Amino acid sequence: MPSSSSANTKSAKADPGRPCRASDSVQTLAGVGPKLTERLTELGIVSVGDLLLHRPLRYEDRTQLTPVRQLVAGEPALVLVRVINADVRIGRRRSLCVDAEDDSGHLLIRLFHFSPSQQARFTSGAWLRLFGQPRASGFGVEMVHPEIEFVAGREEGQAFEPALVPVYPATAGLTQKRLRGLVDQALDALAKPGFWPDQLPADLAVGWGKQSPADALRLIHAPSAQADCNALIDGQHPAVARLAFEELLAHQLQLRARRQQVRGYAAPRLGDAGRGLAPLFNQLGFAPTDAQRRVIGEILADMAVAHPMLRLLQGDVGSGKTVVAAAAVLTAVENGWQAALMAPTEMLAQQHYETLSAWLEPLGVAVWRVTGKRARSDEVAQTIAAGSAGVAVGTHALFEKGVDFGRLGLCVVDEQHRFGVDQRLALTNQAGATTRPHQLIMTATPIPRTLAMSHYADLDTSTIDTLPPGRTPIATVALPNTRRDEIIERIGRAVADGRQVYWVCTLIEDSDKLEAQAAEASADLLAQALPNARIGLAHGRLANTDKQNVMTNFASGMIDVLVATTVIEVGVDVPNASLMIIENAERLGLAQLHQLRGRVGRGSVASHCVLVYQPPLSETARQRLIALRDTGDGFEIARADLALRGPGEVLGTRQTGAASFRIADLGRDQALAESAARQADDVLAYHPREAEALIERWTAATDDYVAV
């Protein structure tokens, strides 16, 4: 036990390159050059601390020797054998075959890759300790490329440190042996005082809080022979919980610290500028619901304060979030400020542009469409840069492609789950501005509480909890694709009744191209089967203007059936569409299916959704379709989704960098997450130094997140 710190300090002095802090680069470890650094980076390992947080996938039991006779095919084991003879045999492949035995039986070792010098070491009588996976072969039991140690004799062969040896997630060109060696060095460093100090405030009196993080890490990488490996692997072990809690707490602290920071900035006071919202409401052709009025009130109250609003607006698909956004935008512009409305796709940006133009231009509000192609020099960009009041609508190109807002007072982000948190932040920071804009983030996918808590801890929340009146529930059925004819017939009837139909082709192996082809094929098929129907096609490979034309024609009723890929998933609003067909529905997640289905049921006619699947269905897929058939409530669906898939997927695989915890798992660690959320404010208030250290420890890799 290296307990004397002076000895450690001395060795650190003698060798100044050795890591002293968890945040030191892996390059400070012996034998790590640029190549290896690159490989480690692929695994998300940049610092020595990252290496320690790289959890084993499983453990190999090397606690005892197994007699050859007791080997079981497929079960890795440690054996001690003596070489009888070794020779190169030319079978189907040339290999070095080593006949060996222990007192119980005979074992063949086969090596396909070997050097002459290796070959020379297998002299008859040499003792070998092997670890490998036995298999049955024509010659008895064999091991192919086991790990081999040459030992001096039986006695030395029987003397070894019994251990559960970790097997890590690895990558091409990085062996387990190499990784283990590096982790061993990191574990040595861990013994140095101050390398990984216990940063949980002492008064967090929770069971796993008492264990030091260093002990927890040691247990995870080098468990004793008695340790509960299954618990270590599936994360139920207190050592894992200890670290998971620390990580979740750090995440909470980071979001809250950022919130405090942003709330500390100045923002324009955007109060009622005189005529209120009546002019807007009179434009709409419908009365806002009580729920819409309530959330508008919450938002305007925030905007009237001289610090940035940070608010999340939740509302199920079709709940009418756009009106709420328009009210906020109008208020900002009437105060003489600019607003930005950011959408996740060009198609949705276009639609928002059209909606806002229709509602706000009659009130004298300038509405600008900003596309990815816009140059700094063009007229709209100059107007925006000059600071004249109005609202700019676009995708993230709004902020990435060089539009400078002269006087940005409000930023609205629609369908936030598509954006990473860093993008959320990039918006708030306009060069040269003395104030920060208010932020309103709108999301249609309701997410369960635990997820919301850890994902949006920096935001206040408003929820639209009722749909506008007069909606008829969407009747949903699931049908196998063998009944396609029936489905097409149904489309024919809907079209004959003057209704409009979506036909959605879902993603095939993550390929835009294949997906587009599938959509084209379906459009052809429908055109043949329904010669009287006007059929349009929209997919990600079309030029934006083409896509927009198709959408405009669909919206104005010039197209009866819109065959589309999932590009229509988000936000498209055509109230006359009342039949939705989703092909290969079994491939999509619940939330996505719910979003898609939400494209219909927006008008007063009864709407239908047909989930077409390719049989046979897996059990999960079947449950997903059942959940969708049985409920239309987004929150209910979100709960089912979390239960079926776990949190990572619920937040969306497309989401950039969000919710990627290293140790914690929001599905598994809900109780820890809630506890971390409860304690975070106190830690921030009473232990600011520890809080800062925890944030740095756990979130250094995602730095720009806080350091705006």
Q: Which is nearer to ligand ADP, 87 or 290 (CB)?
A: 290
Q: Out of Mg ion, ligand ADP, none, which partner does residue 49 contact, by CB within 5 to 8 A per kind?
A: none
Q: Out of ligand ADP, Mg ion, none, which partner does residue 201 contact, by CB within 5 to 8 A per kind?
A: none
Q: Which is nearer to ligand ADP, 76 or 320 (CB)?
A: 320
Nearest distance from C-beta of residue 471 to ligand ADP, angstroms: 8
What is the layout of strands, in order, in the sheet containing 408-414?
Answer: 367-369, 390-394, 338-342, 408-414, 438-443, 310-315, 460-464
The continuous run of DSSP H or E covering 620 comes out as: helix 619-630
Q: Which of residues 406-445 bind ligand ADP (CB under 6 A)?
A: 444
Q: In the block, which residue shows the tokens 């990435």?
A: 400
CA distance 113 to 89: 13
- Cα 400 to chain centroid distance, Å, stands at 22
Q: Interface with ligand ADP includes 347 (CB under 6 A)?
A: no
The SS3 of residue 666 is coil
Answer whether 427's CB lies under 8 Å from 454's CB.
Answer: no
CA distance 381 to 520: 37
Answer whether 457's CB lies under 8 Å from 680's CB.
Answer: yes
Stretch that binds Mg ion, among 26-34, 235-243, 564-572, 585-593 (CB under 5 A): 564-572
CA distance 392 to 404: 11
Q: Which is nearer to ligand ADP, 56 or 571 (CB)?
A: 571
Select from 323, 330, 451, 591 the one that contacts ligand ADP (CB under 6 A).
323
Q: In the block, which residue shows the tokens 């492609």?
A: 401
Q: Out of ligand ADP, Mg ion, none, which partner does residue 315 contact, by CB within 5 to 8 A per kind?
A: ligand ADP
Quick one: 440 exposed, middle or buried, by C-beta within 10 A (0-12, 13-18, 19+)? buried
CA distance 211 to 568: 50
Q: Give me the 481-500 binding string for ligand ADP, x by CB under 6 A, dash otherwise.
A: --------------------
What tokens were used for 665?
A: 């798992």
Q: Which is nearer to Mg ion, 56 or 288 (CB)?
A: 288
Over its C-alpha atoms, the chain yields an Rg (Å, rounded) of 31
Nearest distance from C-beta of residue 574 to Mg ion, angstroms: 13
Query: Which residue of the chain is nearest Mg ion when measured via CB?
Result: 571
Q: Out of ligand ADP, Mg ion, none, which partner does residue 602 contact, by CB within 5 to 8 A per kind?
A: ligand ADP
Q: Interface with ligand ADP includes 289 (CB under 6 A)?
A: yes
Select from 29, 257, 317, 412 the one that contacts ligand ADP (CB under 6 A).
317
Q: Which residues contact 405 (CB under 8 A, 6 or more apart)?
A: 338, 340, 384, 385, 387, 392, 430, 433
What tokens were used for 499?
A: 């209704």
What tokens were used for 192?
A: 């140095």
CA distance 588 to 590: 7
Stretch that binds ligand ADP, among 25-33, 83-91, 517-525, 569-577 (CB under 6 A): 569-577
Q: Which is nearer to ligand ADP, 49 or 344 (CB)?
A: 344
CA distance 590 to 550: 27
Select from 288, 344, 446, 647 the one that contacts ligand ADP (CB under 6 A).
288
Q: Which is nearer to Mg ion, 83 or 562 (CB)?
A: 562
Instruction: Provide the phi-psi class of 293: left if phi over 0, else alpha when psi is between -120 and 50, else beta.
Output: alpha
The continuous run of DSSP H or E covering 591 comes out as: helix 590-597
Q: What is the largest CA-CA distance in the chain?
A: 98
Q: Interface with ligand ADP includes 319 (CB under 6 A)?
A: yes
Q: Which residues share a beta bridge with 94?
A: 90
CA distance 625 to 619: 10
Select from 146, 157, 446, 571 the one that contacts Mg ion (CB under 5 A).
571
Q: Interface with ligand ADP includes 320 (CB under 6 A)?
A: yes
Instruction: Provide the phi-psi class of 307: left if phi over 0, else alpha when psi is between -120 and 50, else beta.
Output: beta
Q: Give me the 520-559 binding string for ligand ADP, x by CB under 6 A, dash otherwise.
A: ----------------------------------------
Q: How many residues bind Mg ion, per CB under 5 A?
A: 1
Which of 427, 433, 259, 453 has the alpha carbon at shortest distance from 343?
A: 427
> Please, what is the end-to-end C-alpha distance for the chain in angstroms?
43
Q: Which is nearer to ligand ADP, 247 or 414 (CB)?
A: 414
Q: Which is nearer to Mg ion, 213 or 571 (CB)?
A: 571
Q: In the block, which residue shows the tokens 């001690």?
A: 80
Stretch that binds ligand ADP, among 228-236, 241-249, 478-486, 568-576 (CB under 6 A): 568-576
Q: Which is nearer to Mg ion, 107 or 467 (CB)?
A: 467
Q: Interface with ligand ADP includes 578 (CB under 6 A)?
A: no
Q: Interface with Mg ion includes 308 (CB under 5 A)?
A: no
Answer whether 591's CB lies under 8 Å from 636's CB.
Answer: no
The SS3 of residue 350 is helix
Select from 209, 223, 315, 632 the one that contacts ligand ADP (CB under 6 A).
315
Q: How many residues bind ligand ADP, per CB under 6 A?
A: 18
Q: In the block, which residue shows the tokens 């990984």?
A: 196
Q: Interface with ligand ADP includes 341 (CB under 6 A)?
A: no
Stretch that binds ligand ADP, among 16-24, 320-328, 371-379, 580-588 (CB under 6 A): 320-328
Q: Give the DSSP per-residue string, 342-360.
A: E-SSHHHHHHHHHHHHHHH
Select from 62, 256, 311, 321 the one that contacts ligand ADP (CB under 6 A).
321
Query: Which residue of the chain is nearest ligand ADP when measured via CB?
Result: 320
Q: Interface with ligand ADP includes 575 (CB under 6 A)?
A: yes
Select from 602, 639, 687, 697 the one that contacts ligand ADP (CB under 6 A).
602
Q: Interface with ligand ADP includes 294 (CB under 6 A)?
A: no
CA distance 49 to 24: 8
Task: Indicate if the alpha-carbon torsion angle 409, 412, 416, 420 is positive or negative.
Answer: negative
Q: Which is nearer to ligand ADP, 292 or 439 (CB)?
A: 292
Q: Which is nearer to ligand ADP, 323 or 403 (CB)?
A: 323
Nearest distance from C-beta of residue 280 to ligand ADP, angstroms: 12
What tokens were used for 642?
A: 């979390």
Q: Which of residues 464-483 bind ligand ADP (CB under 6 A)?
A: 468
Nearest distance from C-beta of residue 323 to ligand ADP, angstroms: 5
Nearest distance from C-beta of residue 600 to ligand ADP, angstroms: 11
Nearest distance from C-beta of residue 29 to Mg ion, angstroms: 50
Answer whether 69's CB lies under 8 Å from 104's CB.
Answer: yes
Helices and strands of the chain, counted as H and E runs: 26, 22
Q: Out of ligand ADP, Mg ion, none, which partner does residue 687 contact, by CB within 5 to 8 A per kind?
A: none
Binding site for Mg ion (CB under 5 A): 571
Binding site for ligand ADP (CB under 6 A): 286, 288-289, 292, 315, 317-323, 444, 468, 571, 573, 575, 602
